[in-house]
Amino acid sequence: FQLERDMVRGIMQPGEFFEVFIDTPIQIAEERDVKGLYKKARLGELKNFTGIDSPYEIPKAPEIHINTTKLSVDEAAEEIAKKLFG
């Protein structure tokens, strides 16, 4: 959640913390869910499941924003590596 993200950001030295937002619509996340966790959460078998019965707070200012509907896994990994390693 944002409060915890801000707390960690305040603890770390500048440049030591990079917030990465993996932006995936919930419908896509459910389609990709090979473990069936979303189904279990919707049936009430899993409690406090983010996006189902526990809120998800979109990051306000992530250093890296990966839109998984536009980037492949390899492209996303490359974007993250560029930010981390230059």
Q: Give 3-31 as a DSSP string.
A: HHHHHHHHHSPTTS---EEEE--HHHHHH
Per-residue pLDDT tens over the stretch 13-51: 988 898 999 999 999 999 999 999 999 999 999 999 999
Any idea where the domains of the chain sit in the sequence? 2-85
CA distance 38 to 52: 8
pTM: 0.81
Place of tokens 């200012």: 61
pLDDT of residue 51: 92
Q: What architecture does CATH give domain 2-85?
A: 3-Layer(aba) Sandwich (3.40)
